[in-house]
Amino acid sequence: MKIYFAGSIRGGRSDVDIYKKIIDHLNKNNKVLTEHVGDYNLSIEGQKQLYNGYIRNRDIDWLKESDLVVAETSSPSLGVGYELAYAERIGKPVIILHNKNKSQLSAMIEGSSYFKDINYYKTIEEAIEILDKKISRQC
């Protein structure tokens, strides 16, 4: 399965270790299209060697091509919010992972009836267990 993983870049990189672990785990049996989100070398400036327009269009193409969107939303990010709204608009399946100890999820996400698969977790082990259960049901 092709997976679009969404996580904060310019919204802040404090959860990059979580993104990396989730991406590495998902990549064992799937293809994560947005591996760069979990790259420790990618700073808050983002992919500054690329034009913003290129990044936006490439990512939307990947989002359309994916079978599933997995979004880690604990670090609030405009880009992740945009991707989630786009996924909602085109009817793409979405799994959201959120650590309540880090932030409160936006009402625009939690309040949308489209996002039924919102999962609160505390540890990375818990997040991976949630994903494994959900993804085995999707296959």
Ligand X SMILES: O=c1[nH]c(=O)n([C@H]2C[C@H](O)[C@@H](COP(=O)(O)O)O2)cc1CO
Binding positions for substrate: 19, 83, 106-108
Report CA-CA distances (Å) from 42 to 4, 64, 76: 17, 24, 17
Binding site for ligand X (CB under 6 A): 6-11, 34, 37, 46-47, 55, 59, 77-80, 83
**Shortest separation between residue 48's beta carbon and ligand X, angstroms:** 7
CA distances from 16 to 23, 40, 107 (A): 10, 7, 24
Nearer to ligand X, 40 or 133 (CB): 40
CB 18 within 8 Å of CB 72: yes
Smallest separation (angstroms) from ligand X to the CB of 10: 3
Q: Which is nearer to ligand X, 33 or 135 (CB)?
A: 33
Q: Measured between alpha carbons, how far is residue 40 from residues 20, 68, 70, 110, 137 in Å?
A: 8, 24, 19, 29, 31
Pick the closer one to ligand X by CB: 35 or 117. Answer: 35
CA distance 139 to 125: 21
CB of 6 vs ligand X, minimal distance in Å: 4
Q: How far is the CB of 15 from ligand X (least distance, A)?
A: 11
Residue with smallest beta-carbon separation from ligand X:
79
